[in-house]
Amino acid sequence: MSAIIETQPAVFPAQLSRHVGPRETLSHTLTMAYRALLRLRRTPEQWADVLVMPFLFTFMFAYLFGGAIAGSVTDYLPALIPAIIVQGVVQASVVTGTQLREDMDTGVFDRFRSLPMARIAPLAGALLTDTIRYAVLTVLTMLVGVMIGWRPGGGGAIVLAGLLVILTAWSLSWCWALLGVTARTAGTVQGIAMLIMMPLTFLSNAFVPTQTLPDWLRVVAEWNPLSHLITAIRELANDGVFGADVGWTLLGAVGIAAIFAPLAVRAYMRKA
């Protein structure tokens, strides 16, 4: 088995670069995204949440709360579908963090660290591929909504709504990536993330109108960043309105990514 190796002498690279350039960084990130895609194909269980949640939560909330909150199921859907989408992608973004932790526990990350590759690529690649999961969840929830009577009136703006929610989930996944890199087990990531996200999704304008809340809670719900995202999606999808909440959400998303992406990469490199 050594025959072929003898005929191929060691190569001392003609040029040695001291740093990774932006083009290489992009190429490495895309390669890592390709790797994540290969893994996604081989691990169907990673699709379970994004395939089941749209059906489960849409039906459950629509028929359970529709009558009580909005008078009828159909009247509840314009408010509900954006909320279900946001709740879904936020939870799916947590899975990104837990999977990163599990992935890092396998030996292959030792090899990535020993390769002359961009340090950000293993994280950025994984996060990039997970936007596919967010997209599937978003589109599927919208379809389920339309199936049971949602008629979004925003026209083409619904595409913008989808993109906005995917971008926000991607930004948010940097938080979980940081948690994933620093936490000891995938279970820890899951536990801490749920502790943060459960109150954040429910103490918002997602499922009930904020007017019905006590004063102190209404303030919390209205300041909740997820409320801004949900409002932005509702306005875009239902009315085609490009409101202030879209701006706030974009600002928030960019801000989160700007803070947490460098932190996550730094934590990853410290481990490296």
Partner 1 sequence: MPSTLPDRAIEADGLVKVFGTNRAVDGVDLRVDTGTVYGVLGPNGAGKTTTISMLATLLRPDGGNARIFGHDVVGEPHTVRQLIGVTGQYASVDEKVSGIENMIVFGRLLGLSHRAAKLKGRELLEAFGLAEAAKRPVGKYSGGMRRRLDLASSLIAHPPLIFLDEPTTGLDPRTRGQMWDVIRGLVAGGSTVLLTTQYLDEADQLADRIAVIDRGRVVAEGTADELKSSVGTAALQLRLADTAQTAVALTVIEQVLGVSATATPEAARITAPMGDPDRVTDLLLALRERGIPLAEVSVTKPTLDEVFLTITGHATDDAASAEHETEEVAA
Residues near partner 1 (CB under 8 A)? 1-14, 16-20, 24, 27-28, 31-32, 34-35, 38-39, 42-43, 106-117, 121, 272
Distance CA 253, CA 257 (A): 6
CB of 233 to partner 1, least distance (A): 34
264, 238, 90: which is closest to 168 by C-alpha?
90
Smallest separation (angstroms) from partner 1 to the CB of 26:
12
Question: Contact 177/252 with Cβ under 8 angstroms?
Answer: no
Least distance (Å) between residue 108 CB and partner 1: 5
Considering beta carbons, is residue 113 or 218 the nearer one to partner 1?
A: 113
Nearest-approach distance from CB 172 to partner 1, in angstroms: 25
Q: Cβ neighbours of residue 261 under 8 Å, at least 6 residues apart?
A: 120, 123, 124, 174, 177
User: Which CB, 27 or 210, lies closer to partner 1?
Assistant: 27
**CA distance linking residue 147 with residue 42, whole number of Å:** 30
* Interaxial angle between packed helices 48-70 and 73-105, expressed in degrees from 0 to 180 and rounded to the nearest 10: 150
Nearer to partner 1, 124 or 164 (CB): 124
Longest dimension (CA), the chain: 78
Angle at 244 between CA 243 and CA 249, to 5 degrees: 105
Q: Coil, helix or strand for 272?
A: coil
Which CB, 34 or 63, lies closer to partner 1? 34
- In angstroms, give the least distance from the CB of 105 to partner 1: 11
Pick 23 or 212: Cβ nearer partner 1: 23
